[in-house]
């Protein structure tokens, strides 16, 4: 809506009247701060990214004739596919282990803690008050050649020489990601477990379900929304993670995020970097849709 | 508004709501604006910014700058020159940047730099002329694009107790399968590619040919399974060498000198094929926000104190001829240096500036190889 300062009073009145009548206009006006942020912060950069992904590098500048050559390269050259698959593999495993390890914690607080629940939640998220980078560095100290694990094992006499696979490997990346993103799993899991109506559990027990069957038939299905959102919250950002593989991955732990960074850095091919980012986004969106579809189907079958 | 008066008012219970809110408002504005006042004061005192390699961000090199301006300059650190250039091309403005001669031509082509007025540098008279007279360094009226600062070599730092040397030292150490998984490499192509070219027997004046490209990348591919990590972080390489996690790594002079100072048995090899030698220097951004301080930074880096620190603590050559005077010939030789840089630069292999096209292709290929392709 553009207000015209010199407009005749009649017209201005009409405009106000229209604004009062139209619910949509009022809605947009209310949303406008958020809308501005969304447009400036997400939609415009995304459009720039899409436009740039169709350009070609030309020395220090860009050749702006639109072409799909970058996407062709992304589809045909083996490095891109391999790194993409590896990223999905690493971040999939990290997501799996994070959710697996965080579920019992969230479960305990939701069902067995009755006083000071908030304090427990705060305590569980306490390690995440430090910076992500610091946590990654801390894992370097733990997993390193002369690190905590290796020195402990050496002192205990369990190993002869330091374990080298601990650092600079995909294992190191998975371990670190699983720890670094734990807070993002605990909170949604806790919320969905906390919401479960305890009388359903009692009913199940009354009707003869043992603890295991009760968990499988009541608790787990009802906490599925939490599990799904935890999976999304971890899988999506870790697939493109840059700093963990850069610091802990070694030559075989490089992920797609590192490759994208390189395109904007030393390789100096911004259009290719943009194309890779778009491809990554498309893949994540596709995988997320499949995941959602499958869980919905499973839910329908349960119902 | 009188503070005492208000305290009395509170005591006697007569503080009006309006007076109380006024006090609150005053206190609120005071608290909110304090940080702005402080940052404005700090902004007036903004130091010059130096964009440099990791390891040069220590106050010891900037004693005269600190004496003149009250604090060391601000630092921004990069791991590779190509990375630095990309960041500046996308709008990162600094006062002074620290590229090497190989990069200089391409850096100048971006139009982001200005020639340096050497009459504003008090130490200019002592700068070794052969380091200034490098290819394409003259901008106009005898003003250079790059003021030389440090020079040295890229070679192998190896553990003398863990690596067996048969005959002469050679680049083969980094390609030796006995040390698989215990070899470190520099991640920036600006060093690694040229060293691999030496190993593959490619003469530097032919490095841009297709043949040379294939031979060099084949050498790097062959080496890749042996490499524990590719990094530009000299601390990571130094620590790995000192713990025995790595037995040999491609490094610059400083890693070996620093480890020797900790009495770790390492040597900075002088490979029979020749080490890679380089000269790096300082360039001034055309939009440098603090040009006066930029000259202060450059001048203090050219000073004898900075030079003695560079030679003594890092084992790098310096561009000030007087910096070498406090070292004996034996000491310099032990560091692989000489007061006459030509001697060293000619003995090693000096990398030649290349076109942007080649540089991008080289970096891309090296990244592919590092990732295993």
| Window B:183-212, CB contacts with A under 8 Å | 188-189
What's the pLDDT tens digit per position in B327-373?
Answer: 988 888 888 788 887 788 778 888 888 888 898 899 999 999 998 88
pLDDT of residue A9: 64
CB contact under 8 A, A259 and B364: no
CB contact under 8 A, A267 and B364: yes
| Average pLDDT for chain A | 89
CB contact under 8 A, B363 and A266: yes
Residue A94 has pLDDT above 70, yes or no: yes
pLDDT of residue B370: 92
CB contact under 8 A, A266 and B188: yes
CB distance A198 to A176 below 8 Å: no
For residue A44, give how far its alpha carbon lies from the nearest alpha carbon of chain B (Å): 18
CB distance B289 to B93 below 8 Å: yes
Residue B42, classified by CB atoms within 10 Å of its CB into exposed (0-12), middle (13-18) or buried (19+), is: exposed
CB contact under 8 A, B82 and A146: no
What's the pLDDT tens digit per position in B183-216?
Answer: 999 998 889 999 999 999 999 989 999 999 999 9
CB contact under 8 A, B372 and A252: yes
Residue ranges of domains in chain A:
9-53, 73-302
What's the pLDDT tens digit per position in A142-187?
Answer: 998 888 999 999 999 998 888 888 889 999 999 999 999 998 999 9
Region A224-252: mean pLDDT is: 91
Extract the tokens encoding B13: 């219970």
pLDDT of residue A5: 56
In residues, how long is chain A?
303
CB contact under 8 A, B370 and A254: yes
Residue B33 has pLDDT above 70, yes or no: no
Give percent above pLDDT 70 in chain A.
96
* Out of B86, B189, B368, closest to residue A79 by CB: B368
3-class DSSP assignment, residue B135: coil
User: Searching chain A, which residue's CA lies closest to the CA of residue B365?
Assistant: A267
| Average pLDDT for chain B | 88
φ/ψ of A204, rounded to 5, equals: -60, -45
CB pairs under 8 A between A and B: 66
Extract the tokens encoding A89: 């593999």
Confidence band of B1 (pLDDT split at 50, 70, 90)? very low
CB contact under 8 A, A251 and B243: no
Give percent above pLDDT 90 in chain A.
55
Bridge partner list, A40: none
Region A264-282: mean pLDDT is: 91
Mutual angle of helices A270-302 and A69-76, in 10-degree steps: 60
Residue A45 has pLDDT above 70, yes or no: yes
pLDDT of residue A4: 53
3-class DSSP assignment, residue B279: strand
User: Searching chain A, which residue's CA lies closest to the CA of residue B242?
Assistant: A146
Extract the tokens encoding B23: 């006090």
Residue B41 has pLDDT above 50, yes or no: no
Extract the tokens encoding A270: 């911004």
pLDDT of residue A188: 93
Residue B3 has pLDDT above 60, yes or no: no
Report the alpha-carbon distance of residue A48 to residue A213 in Å, rounded.
Answer: 52
- List of chain B residues whose C-beta atoms are within 8 Å of the C-beta of residue A145: 240, 243-245
- List of chain B residues whose C-beta atoms are within 8 Å of the C-beta of residue A254: 370-371
What's the pLDDT tens digit per position in B19-32?
Answer: 777 777 777 777 76
For residue A165, give how far its alpha carbon lies from the nearest alpha carbon of chain B (Å): 10
The CATH superfamily of A73-302 is: MetI-like (1.10.3720.10)
Residue B227, chain A, CB below 8 Å: the answer is: yes
What's the pLDDT tens digit per position in B140-183?
Answer: 888 999 999 999 889 999 999 999 988 889 999 999 999 999 99
pLDDT of residue A1: 47
CB contact under 8 A, A268 and B86: yes
Within a 10 A sphere around the Cβ of B209, how many other Cβ atoms? Answer: 12
Report the alpha-carbon distance of residue A273 to residue A200 in Å, rounded.
Answer: 51
Nearest in space to A141 (alpha carbons), one of A166, A124, A119: A166
User: Searching chain B, which residue's CA lies closest to the CA of residue A268?
Assistant: B360
For residue B324, give how far its alpha carbon lies from the nearest alpha carbon of chain A (Å): 35
- List of chain B residues whose C-beta atoms are within 8 Å of the C-beta of residue A58: none
CB contact under 8 A, A145 and B243: yes
ipTM (interface predicted TM): 0.80
Give percent above pLDDT 70 in chain B.
92
* Out of A168, A264, A269, closest to residue B229 by CB: A168
For chain A, list the strands marked E by DSSP: 56-58, 61-63
Bridge partner list, B320: B127
Bridge partner list, B251: B155
pLDDT of residue B2: 52
User: Searching chain A, which residue's CA lies closest to the CA of residue B82?
Assistant: A266
Region B39-50: mean pLDDT is: 68
pLDDT of residue A43: 94
Report the alpha-carbon distance of residue B239 to residue B246 in Å, rounded.
Answer: 9
3-class DSSP assignment, residue A145: coil
**From the candidates A266, A273, A274, which should be mutated to test the interface with B, based on the most B CB atoms within 10 A?**
A266
Bridge partner list, B49: B74
- List of chain B residues whose C-beta atoms are within 8 Å of the C-beta of residue A78: 373
Region at B167 (left for phi over 0; alpha for psi -120 to 50; beta for the rest): left
Report the alpha-carbon distance of residue A146 to residue B244 in Å, rounded.
Answer: 9
Nearest in space to B347 (alpha carbons), one of B279, B281, B276, B280: B276
* Out of B109, B189, B227, closest to residue A266 by CB: B189
CB contact under 8 A, A267 and B363: yes
Within a 10 A sphere around the Cβ of B312, how many other Cβ atoms? Answer: 16
User: What separation in angstroms does the CA of B275 have from each of B182, B195, B205, B286, B347?
Assistant: 21, 8, 16, 34, 8
* Out of A78, A146, A265, closest to residue B86 by CB: A265
φ/ψ of A300, rounded to 5, equals: -60, -40
CB distance B52 to B97 below 8 Å: yes
pLDDT of residue A231: 93
| CB-based burial, B57-82: b 16+ in 10 Å, e otherwise | beebbbebbbeebeebbbbeebbbbb
CB contact under 8 A, A269 and B86: no
Bridge partner list, B285: B113
């Amino acid at each position: 809506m553009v207000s015209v300062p010199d407009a005749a009073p009649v017209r201005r009145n009409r405009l106000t009247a229209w604004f009062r009548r139209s619910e949509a206009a009022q809605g947009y006006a209310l949303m406008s701060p958020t809308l501005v942020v969304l447009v400036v912060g997400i939609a415009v950069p995304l459009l720039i990214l899409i436009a740039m992904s169709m350009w070609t590098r030309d020395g220090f500048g860009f050749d702006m004739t639109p072409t799909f050559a970058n996407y062709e390269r992304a589809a045909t050259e083996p490095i891109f596919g391999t790194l993409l698959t590896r990223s999905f593999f690493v971040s999939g495993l990290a997501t799996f282990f994070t959710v697996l390890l965080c579920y019992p914690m969230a479960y305990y607080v939701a069902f067995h803690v009755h006083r000071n629940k908030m304090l427990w939640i705060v305590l569980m998220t306490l390690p995440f008050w430090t910076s992500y980078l610091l946590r990654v560095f801390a894992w370097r100290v733990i997993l390193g050649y002369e690190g905590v694990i290796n020195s402990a094992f050496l002192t205990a006499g369990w190993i002869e020489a330091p374990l080298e696979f601990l650092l600079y490997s995909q294992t190191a990346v998975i371990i670190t990601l699983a720890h670094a993103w734990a807070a993002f799993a605990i909170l949604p899991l806790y919320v969905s477990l906390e919401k479960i109506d305890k009388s359903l559990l009692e009913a199940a027990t009354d009707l003869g379900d043992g603890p295991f069957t009760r968990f499988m038939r009541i608790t787990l299905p009802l906490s599925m929304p939490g599990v799904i959102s935890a999976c999304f919250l971890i899988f999506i950002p870790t697939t493109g993670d840059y700093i963990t593989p850069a610091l802990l991955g070694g030559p075989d732990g490089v992920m797609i995020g590192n490759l994208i960074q390189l395109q904007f850095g030393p390789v100096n091919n911004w259009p290719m970097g943009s194309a890779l980012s778009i491809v990554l986004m498309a893949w994540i969106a596709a995988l997320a849709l499949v995941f959602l579809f499958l869980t919905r189907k499973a839910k329908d079958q349960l119902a | 508004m009188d503070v005492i008066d208000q305290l009395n008012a509170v005591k006697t219970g007569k503080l009006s709501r309006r007076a109380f809110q006024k006090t609150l408002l005053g206190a609120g504005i005071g608290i909110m604006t304090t940080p702005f006042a402080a940052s404005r004061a700090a902004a007036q005192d903004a130091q010059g910014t130096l964009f440099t390699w990791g390891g040069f961000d220590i106050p010891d090199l900037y004693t005269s700058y600190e004496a003149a301006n009250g604090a060391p300059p601000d630092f921004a650190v990069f791991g590779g020159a190509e990375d630095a250039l990309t960041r500046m091309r996308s709008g990162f403005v600094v006062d002074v940047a620290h590229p090497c001669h190989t990069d200089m031509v391409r850096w100048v082509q971006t139009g982001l730099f200005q020639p340096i007025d050497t009459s504003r540098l008090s130490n200019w008279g002592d700068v070794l002329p052969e380091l200034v007279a490098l290819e394409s360094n003259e901008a106009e009226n005898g003003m250079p694009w790059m003021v030389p600062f440090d020079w040295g070599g890229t070679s192998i730092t190896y553990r003398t107790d863990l690596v067996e040397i048969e005959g002469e030292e050679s680049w083969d150490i980094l390609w030796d399968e006995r040390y698989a998984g215990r070899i470190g490499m520099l991640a920036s192509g600006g060093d690694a590619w040229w060293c691999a070219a030496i190993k593959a027997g490619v003469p530097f004046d032919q490095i841009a040919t297709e043949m040379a490209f294939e031979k060099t990348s084949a050498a790097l591919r062959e080496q890749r399974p042996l490499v524990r990590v590719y990094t530009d972080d000299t601390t990571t390489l130094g620590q790995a060498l000192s713990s025995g996690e790595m037995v040999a790594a491609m490094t610059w002079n400083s890693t070996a000198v620093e480890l020797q100072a900790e009495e770790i048995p390492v040597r900075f090899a002088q490979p029979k094929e020749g080490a890679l030698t380089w000269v790096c220097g300082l360039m001034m951004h055309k939009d440098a926000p603090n040009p006066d301080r930029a000259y202060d930074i450059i001048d203090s880096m050219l000073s004898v104190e900075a030079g003695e620190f560079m030679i003594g603590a890092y084992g790098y050559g310096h561009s000030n001829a007087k910096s070498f005077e406090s070292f004996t010939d034996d000491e310099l030789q032990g560091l692989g240096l000489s007061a006459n840089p030509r001697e060293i630069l000619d003995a090693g292999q000096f990398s030649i500036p290349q076109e942007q096209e080649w540089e991008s292709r080289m970096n891309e290929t090296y990244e592919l190889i590092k990732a295993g392709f």
